[in-house]
């Protein structure tokens, strides 16, 4: 039997192909350890990943936003405004005239005048003034006359003047009333009540503030006693007062009428009493 031999070159080629095939299917070649002599080959490093910037919260889509919570108004804001307003007010003046003695069932005039802050030092006192003083004034003031202890004792009627009036800075405002006592009494109390008037911002409301009281005492006399006293004090003035057309004429007429009615009632009563006496006899 004859053997065939391959050339050595062919054997070397087949062996090289086998080694190559086994290298592709096996493990990858490992990097040489440091200091192995193959210093030209550097280890491969993977690049770092760049983080993607996040969007601001307010720009993220489909995210519900909470509504801002409403700030409640301050409970004392208006009170602070009023206090600031009052601190800015200036001093004015008040004067009043209230008769110390009045006649029962006869009207007497009561007058109050308030001066603005520019008029508080140069004004002339009203004739017969019974009181005066200084007080803070606003552009509008409220003045009332009251009988706090016995309201039924007096009938108080304003003389064409509103309770709230404008007070000019360089002038004055005047309030007047007719006061009629009901019956004779002594030490009757009247009070003048004065209030600042605060204009509520943004409305037509006016709020009276800081009431001040000026008490006065009045003695109420009977009409007959008052007439006798006035005659003794000033006979000439009394005659002018009581003559027709004078202020006292109406009071005298009323007194005479009442006295005449009383006398007529007594005369009428006497015949009736006599007749009843005869019947009993």
Which tops the pLDDT comparison, 58 or 110? 110
Question: What digits encode the pLDDT tens for the residues 6-61?
Answer: 555 565 666 666 655 555 554 444 555 555 444 455 565 656 666 666 555 555 55
Assign 84 to helix, strand or coil. helix
Question: What digits encode the pLDDT tens for the residues 180-220?
Answer: 999 898 999 999 999 999 998 888 889 999 999 999 999 99
Q: What is the pLDDT of residue 29?
A: 46
* Confidence tier at 74 by pLDDT (50, 70, 90): confident
Distance, CA of 115 to CA of 171 (rounded, Å) = 6
Task: Match domain 88-221 to its CATH number in 1.10.230.10, 2.40.37.10, 2.60.40.10, 1.10.357.10.
Answer: 2.60.40.10
Is residue 73 scored above 50 in pLDDT?
A: yes
Domain with CATH 2.60.40.10 in the chain: 88-221
- For the residues 228-237, what does the mean pLDDT come to? 56
């Amino acid at each position: 039997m004859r053997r065939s031999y391959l050339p050595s070159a062919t054997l070397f080629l087949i062996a090289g192909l086998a080694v190559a095939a086994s290298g592709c299917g096996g493990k990858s070649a490992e990097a040489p350890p440091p200091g192995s002599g193959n210093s030209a080959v550097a280890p491969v490093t993977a690049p770092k990943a760049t983080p993607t910037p996040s969007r601001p919260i307010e720009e993220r889509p489909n995210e519900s936003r909470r509504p801002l919570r409403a700030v409640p108004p301050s409970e004392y804001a208006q009170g602070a405004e009023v206090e600031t307003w009052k601190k800015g007010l200036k001093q004015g003046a008040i004067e009043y005239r209230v008769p110390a003695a009045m006649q029962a069932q006869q009207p007497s005039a009561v007058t109050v005048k308030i001066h603005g802050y520019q008029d508080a030092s140069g004004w002339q006192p009203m004739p017969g003034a019974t009181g005066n003083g200084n007080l803070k004034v606003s552009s509008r003031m409220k003045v009332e006359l009251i009988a706090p202890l016995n309201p039924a004792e007096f009938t108080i009627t304003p003389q064409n003047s509103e309770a709230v009036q404008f007070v000019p800075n360089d002038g004055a405002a005047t309030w007047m009333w007719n006061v009629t006592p009901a019956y004779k009494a002594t030490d009757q109390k009247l009070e003048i009540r004065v209030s600042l008037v605060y204009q509520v911002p943004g409305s037509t409301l006016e709020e009276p503030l800081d009431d001040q009281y000026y008490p006065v005492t009045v003695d109420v006399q009977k009409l007959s006693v008052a007439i006798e006293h006035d005659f003794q004090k000033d006979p000439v003035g009394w005659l002018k007062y009581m003559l027709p057309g004078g202020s006292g004429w109406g009071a005298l007429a009323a007194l005479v009428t009442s006295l005449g009615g009383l006398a007529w009632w007594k005369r009428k009563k006497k015949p009736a009493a006599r007749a009843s006496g005869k019947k009993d006899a």
